[in-house]
Amino acid sequence: MNVLLVGSGGREHALAWKIAQSPALTRLVAAPGNPGIETVCECRPVGVLEVAALVDLAREIAADLVVVGPEASLEAGLADALAEVGVPCFGPTAAAARLETSKAFSKAFADRHGLPTAPHVACDSAEAARAALDGFSPPYVIKADGLAAGKGVVIAEDRPQAEAAIDDMLGGRFGAAGARVVIEAFLTGEEVSLFALCDGETAVLFGAAQDHKRAYDGDQGPNTGGMGTYSPAPIATPAALAAAERTLIRPAVQGMAAEGAPYHGVLFAGLMIDQDRPSLVEFNARFGDPECQVLMLRLASDLLPYLHAAAAGGLADLPPPQWRDAAAVCVVLAAKGYPDAPEKGSVIRGVAQDFGPDVAVFHAGTARRDDGALVAAGGRVLNVCARGETLAVARARAYAAVARIDWPEGFHRTDIAWRALPPG
């Protein structure tokens, strides 16, 4: 199989690493890729929003499958453009990706199909939004409607803070993404990221992981795209997973098909779980980053047949995916100043060394300088991942590998997996 992988982050490096192990693979090309992905496969300098050029590249390499990492490509219509030329795409059409790209759409969809989620209202004026606060009690949850890189949610402790957040969002800070706000009830419980592969009709659960969204230890500091993950997460009990599949995942896939926008790819349900009862926080139309990294370390099955079946149909004919009887941990190394103003350009040493068979260091925001040095080029820069027979072993291995990377300008959390294991 010839495969084009779209994206340039740690998630895509993990996907490339796993796809490259597939006996079914003939050729893997990534666009645009990154210095880590370059060690796995050929990379071409085509950006994730260059839809026409990506379609041309898919045809040039006679791709049997295009695997799309980031939501921005989906929102730009890459899956739609590939469908026009008959290339199977792992990733939903722009219409189906609205489950992620429009919170107002996904909330209304959840209502139409009876999915368990927080009560909410969507407002497109500050007046309406302020008035709508009457129907809620603190803490208030205020969300910008569109894509806001994980920063479009404010949890406000009191009414003045809530009103300030409303004015801020509707005042243009997020551009078109903030033309509307959603106000919703605060959910209690513990969060987990659940993944399901979907082929338009069938959904197959594809692992769960817990992320750490705040920048600093003890869940302090600003929200980020995710500072580390571990899997399996004890909060995702068999009962909670079964309930999520029954009440959320299957009705969502059936609902999208019934509404004429069949969902292909991976559906990422951000869940709040309280006593085995899942509520939907949000859908995403892609793998989580860095959730994907720990799932790839744990997946024993060949990934490629699952990705192809999600794109082209036939998931129901595949055996259930097999997972290693092991835990995995991912520690994100971020550039100082992340998420607000990450410092770029500092040199990172020690990434290419041999860390052993149970450790993988995935590149996210890295670049090669002209002299060949590896430098920081983004906020989240490296993902140091390890697996082990227990979560404690996996975590110890991950932090031992972190200690061997020489990058004084970076920082990381030291308490990844704290909910399952006390730090130590």
**Contact residues: ligand AMP, CB under 6 A:** 118, 141, 143, 150, 153, 155, 184, 186-187, 191, 213, 270, 281-282
92 makes contact, choosing from ligand GLY, ligand AMP, none, with CB < 5 to 8 Å by partner type, with none
Smallest gap, in angstroms, from Cβ of residue 279 to ligand AMP?
Answer: 8
Q: Which residues pair with 143 in a beta bridge?
A: 153, 182
Asked if residues 217 and 176 have their Cβ atoms less than 8 Å apart, the reply is no
Q: Which is nearer to ligand AMP, 387 or 413 (CB)?
A: 413
347 makes contact, choosing from ligand GLY, ligand AMP, none, with CB < 5 to 8 Å by partner type, with none
Q: In what order do the strands lie in the sheet with 27-32?
A: 42-43, 27-32, 2-7, 65-68, 89-90
Q: Which is nearer to ligand AMP, 59 or 277 (CB)?
A: 277
288 makes contact, choosing from ligand GLY, ligand AMP, none, with CB < 5 to 8 Å by partner type, with ligand GLY
393 makes contact, choosing from ligand GLY, ligand AMP, none, with CB < 5 to 8 Å by partner type, with none
32 makes contact, choosing from ligand GLY, ligand AMP, none, with CB < 5 to 8 Å by partner type, with none
351 phi/psi in degrees, rounded to 5? -75, -30
End-to-end CA distance of the chain: 45
Tokens of 381: 């820069």
Q: From its phi and psi, is residue 342 left (phi > 0), alpha (psi between -120 and 50) or beta? A: beta
| Residue nearest ligand GLY by beta-carbon distance | 226
Smallest gap, in angstroms, from Cβ of residue 127 to ligand GLY?
Answer: 32
Q: Which is nearer to ligand GLY, 103 or 308 (CB)?
A: 103
Tokens of 419: 């909910």
Q: Which is nearer to ligand GLY, 191 or 259 (CB)?
A: 191
Smallest gap, in angstroms, from Cβ of residue 225 to ligand GLY?
Answer: 6
Q: Which is nearer to ligand AMP, 191 or 276 (CB)?
A: 191
Q: Which residues pair with 273 in a beta bridge?
A: 190, 278
Smallest gap, in angstroms, from Cβ of residue 216 to ligand AMP?
Answer: 15
Q: Where are any strands of DSSP class E within 163-213?
A: 181-184, 190-199, 203-211
Q: What is the Cα–Cα distance from 105 to 182, expressed in whole angstroms?
A: 11
At residue 143, the 3 state secondary structure works out as: strand
Nearest CA-CA partner of 82 in 55, 48, 43, 50: 55
27 makes contact, choosing from ligand AMP, ligand GLY, none, with CB < 5 to 8 Å by partner type, with none
Q: What is the Cα–Cα distance from 15 to 29, expressed in whole angstroms?
A: 12
Q: Which is nearer to ligand AMP, 256 or 269 (CB)?
A: 269
Q: Which is nearer to ligand AMP, 261 or 281 (CB)?
A: 281
Q: From its phi and psi, is residue 265 left (phi > 0), alpha (psi between -120 and 50) or beta? A: left
59 makes contact, choosing from ligand AMP, ligand GLY, none, with CB < 5 to 8 Å by partner type, with none
CA distances from 412 to 68, 295, 315, 379 (A): 28, 20, 38, 12
Smallest gap, in angstroms, from Cβ of residue 402 to ligand AMP?
Answer: 24
Residues contributing to the site for ligand GLY (CB under 6 A):
150, 211, 225-226, 284, 288-289, 291
